[in-house]
Amino acid sequence: MIERFDLLVFDWDGTLMDSEARITSCLRAAATDTGLPARSDEALREVIGLGLREALSHLFENIDEPTLQQLTAAYRQHFLYDNPTPSALFPGAADMIRHLHAQGFRLAIATGKARQGLDRVLAETGLGDYFHASRCADETGSKPHPRMLLEIMQQLGIAPERTLMVGDTEFDLAMAANAGVAGVAVGYGVHAVSRLLAMQPLTCVGNIAELAAWLESGETPGDVVASA
């Protein structure tokens, strides 16, 4: 166990759940429904981790409010109801969360998902009872603003120096830095490892097994993935 930390905060998409294909598919379909131009796969992947409004505004600059609302509604319809693209927890993620909970860590989620979406996947995966707090982009500030982390720490009464953020994007690590919190990067998500390492995380791991081992021992894995 890492005695330095009491609270472990996880990003969801790309960190615990392999949902990249579903998210990009839904973004693409929503743009088509709204009559907006197609965006590249790279551009779609780039905004994963932001709040939905922030992500869509980034993809379609100068979009007016009525169109943004239409696009937002189309995305939610596809993601929650219409899109059949599967998404699942990364192998070993559920066992890791259960183990960390049993070891006495306080666990939380800070995600760009909306509350409805997070509650749904927590119910589907059976992991809801293992997390002591969560914050979503539609109820607080979007990453990389520190508000998510600040609210979680305040709710649980845990100081920044006793808190660790785990995520797969620059947005996660920037949020951690903005909140005065240490960060660990996972290199199997949407942002390249070179970008993550530039944010100076404590370490960058290549898979869930390495992450679980690091969180248990505090030792940096010998092999850091070179790309993602």
Residue 17's pLDDT is 96
How distant, in Å, are the alpha carbons of 53, 55, 56, 64, 195 from that of 69? 9, 13, 10, 9, 31
Which region holds residue 131: left if phi is over 0, alpha if psi is between -120 and 50, else beta? beta
Q: Return all residues near 65 (Cβ < 8 A) that are at least 6 apart.
A: none
Q: List every span in the chain annotated with CATH 1.10.150.240.
A: 20-82
Residue 131 identity (one-letter amino acid):
F
Q: What is the pLDDT of residues 13-37, one digit of tens each?
A: 999 999 999 999 999 999 999 999 9
Task: Decide: pTM greater than 0.85.
Answer: yes
Q: Backbone dihedral region of 216: left (phi > 0), alpha (psi from -120 to 50 degrees) or beta? A: alpha
pLDDT on residue 218: 59
Catalytic annotation, residues? 11, 13
pLDDT at 86: 84
Under the banding of pLDDT at 50, 70 and 90, the label for residue 197 is very high
For the residues 210-220, what does the mean pLDDT come to? 78
What pLDDT, on a 0 to 100 scale, did the predictor assign at position 222?
Answer: 42
What is d(CA 12, CA 89) in angstroms, rounded to the nearest whole number?
9
Domain 7-18+88-217 has CATH 3.40.980.10: no
Task: Give pLDDT tens digits for 71-129.
Answer: 999 999 998 888 888 889 999 999 999 999 999 999 999 999 999 999 999 999 999 99
Q: Give CA separation, 53 vs 1, 56, 65, 96, 146, in Å.
A: 38, 5, 10, 31, 17
Kindly state which CATH superfamily the domain 20-82 is placed in: Putative phosphatase; domain 2 (1.10.150.240)
Please count the other Cβ atoms lying within 10 Å of the Cβ belonging to residue 184.
26
Q: Report pLDDT digits (tens) over 151-161.
A: 999 999 999 99
Report the mean per-residue pLDDT for the chain: 91
Q: Would you state the pLDDT for residue 50?
A: 86
For CATH 3.40.50.1000, list the domain ranges present in the chain.
Answer: 7-18+88-217
Give 164-184 pLDDT, tens digit per residue.
999 999 999 999 999 999 999
